[in-house]
């Protein structure tokens, strides 16, 4: 990667660039801006998924991050309201290789650039995303400033200074910024042809879901598994949770440093775990929260796992699943205490991808079994959670 103050001019030779991506080490990438204008500063990561750019941009786990898409065809199916994982995009910005072409899809209702602009999100196209991805892999997720100016006027020194001034995600609690403000009920199930999202009208299990930044498709999967879902804010206490007399408790995905969110979430989880036979299921940040609550530690990864092609091995069955992932922190498997079993492991780097409490209906995974986007190899985990609740009732 170039040294400080060097420039990678990735703009067309005869077209003035309208966007600039500045890294904290002084590297500059020029390209074509689309979406909103202005400047945003965040951690820069890359995602290897070949589908689902709208779901990725609206995944609350991406708060505080600019997403580089390694797949070049971004925007070609447009956008639609059904594919949002939360009300508005949460990722701070988008970096792509090719500028979006005119959308061609029967579900399209708005071009990607217009969708981003209406939601105040900045994007840059015409970037050498392969080079950028290699730099992230080799040196870790950098801090970056992304600017879009239709006139192409950039104060690059100021952009680099903004990138360097970004505090980073370590020690940062972002769950409070993306969680719901009050509790609500959820009964929408997974999408099904031809009518879209059906309604769960015969639930079997009462579930309290803690919203650290929950994706809608996770809640749909819970409803499809037979759950009557009540969603509570991230700051809910054990007393708040248990007041609903749930059959099970779900800990959702979310952004930021798990240790920071754990300041208030871990006491809640410990209170829930004091109910010895109460089933608990966690995903992503919820997995990390559960690990912290039982005495393990979490660590910041070099560049994280972001994509829909991550192989994960279930150590209990030997089965290998291709999964969706989105996390920059991980549970330190070496810190797992006695009675906590490592259930899943990444086949990319051997990092921890799941735990379970020995002899108890409590488990969690780092990957996203609800996918959206991605494969559905791990959907059985929702059914396992439902079976745990049925077994406890029996």
User: Mind listing the pLDDT tens digit for each residue in 134-172?
Assistant: 999 999 999 999 999 999 999 999 999 999 999 999 999
Question: Exposed, middle or buried: residue 83 (CB in 10 Å: 0-12, 13-18, 19+)?
Answer: buried
Per residue in 256-305, pLDDT (tens digit) is: 999 999 999 999 999 999 999 999 999 999 999 999 999 999 999 999 99
Tell me how far apart the alpha carbons of residues 187 and 332 are, in angstroms, rounded to a whole number: 35
Give yes or no for a contact between 176 and 233, defined as CB atoms under 8 angstroms apart: no
Average pLDDT over residues 110-136: 97
| CATH pick for 7-165 out of 3.50.30.20, 2.60.40.10, 3.30.1360.120, 3.40.50.300 | 3.50.30.20
Q: Which is the catalytic residue, given 43, 55, 85, 370? A: 370
Tell me how far apart the alpha carbons of residues 391 and 385 are, in angstroms, rounded to a whole number: 10
| Confidence band of 14 (pLDDT split at 50, 70, 90) | low
Pairing between β-strand 19-23 and β-strand 28-35 as defined by DSSP bridges = antiparallel
Give yes or no for a contact between 285 and 175, defined as CB atoms under 8 angstroms apart: yes
Kindly tell me if the per-residue pLDDT of 13 is higher than 90.
Answer: no
Question: Exposed, middle or buried: residue 256 (CB in 10 Å: 0-12, 13-18, 19+)?
Answer: buried
| CATH pick for 175-393 out of 3.40.50.880, 3.40.470.10, 3.30.200.20, 3.40.30.10 | 3.40.50.880
Give yes or no for a contact between 157 and 54, defined as CB atoms under 8 angstroms apart: no
Instruction: Say whether 306 is catalytic.
Output: no
What's residue 195's pLDDT? Answer: 85
Tell me which residue of 356, 381, 385, 386 sits closest to 369, measured CA to CA. 381
- Would you list the domain boundaries of the chain? 7-165, 175-393
Kindly tell me if the per-residue pLDDT of 381 is higher than 60.
Answer: yes
Instruction: Say whether 368 is catalytic.
Output: yes
Average pLDDT over residues 237-245: 98
Kindly tell me if the per-residue pLDDT of 217 is higher than 70.
Answer: yes
Kindly tell me if the per-residue pLDDT of 243 is higher than 70.
Answer: yes
Kindly tell me if the per-residue pLDDT of 232 is higher than 50.
Answer: yes
What's residue 194's pLDDT? Answer: 86
Q: Which is the catalytic residue, given 284, 310, 353, 367? A: 284
What's residue 2's pLDDT? Answer: 43
* C-alpha dihedral sign at 129, 132, 137, 140: negative
């Amino acid at each position: 990667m170039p040294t400080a103050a060097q420039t990678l001019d990735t703009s067309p030779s005869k077209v003035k660039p309208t966007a600039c991506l500045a890294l904290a080490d002084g590297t500059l990438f020029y390209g074509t801006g689309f979406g909103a204008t202005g400047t945003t500063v965040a951690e820069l990561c890359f995602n290897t998924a070949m589908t689902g750019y709208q779901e990725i941009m609206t995944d609350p786990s991406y708060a505080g991050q600019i997403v580089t898409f390694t797949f070049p065809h971004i925007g070609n199916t447009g956008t639609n309201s059904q594919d949002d994982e939360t009300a508005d995009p949460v990722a701070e910005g988008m970096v792509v290789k090719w500028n979006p072409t005119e959308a061609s899809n029967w579900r399209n209702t708005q071009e990607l650039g217009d969708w981003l602009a209406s939601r105040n999100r900045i994007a840059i196209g015409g970037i050498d995303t392969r080079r950028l991805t290699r730099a992230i892999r080799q040196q870790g997720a950098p801090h970056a400033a992304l600017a879009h100016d239709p006139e192409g006027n950039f104060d690059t020194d100021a952009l680099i200074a903004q990138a360097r001034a970004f505090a980073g995600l370590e020690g940062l609690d972002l769950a409070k910024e993306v969680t719901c403000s009050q509790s609500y009920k959820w009964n929408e199930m997974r999408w099904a042809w031809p009518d879209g999202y059906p309604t769960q009208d015969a639930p079997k299990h009462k579930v309290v879901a803690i919203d650290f930044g929950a994706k809608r498709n996770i809640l749909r999967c819970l409803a499809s598994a037979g759950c009557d879902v009540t969603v509570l804010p991230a700051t809910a206490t054990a007393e708040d949770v248990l007041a609903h007399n749930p059959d099970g408790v779900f800990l959702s995905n979310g952004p930021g440093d798990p240790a920071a969110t754990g300041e208030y979430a871990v006491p809640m989880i410990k209170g829930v775990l004091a109910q010895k036979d109460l089933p608990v299921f966690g995903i992503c940040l919820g997995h990390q929260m559960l690990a912290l609550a039982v005495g393990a530690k979490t660590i910041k990864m070099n560049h994280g796992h972001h994509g829909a092609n991550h192989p994960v091995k279930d150590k209990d069955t030997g089965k290998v699943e291709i999964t969706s992932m989105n996390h920059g922190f991980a549970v330190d498997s070496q810190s797992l205490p006695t009675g906590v079993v490592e259930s899943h492991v990444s086949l990319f780097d051997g990092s921890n991808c799941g735990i379970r409490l020995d002899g108890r209906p409590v488990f969690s995974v780092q990957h996203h079994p609800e996918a959206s986007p991605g494969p559905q190899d791990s959907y059985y985990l929702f059914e396992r959670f439902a079976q745990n609740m049925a077994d406890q009732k029996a």
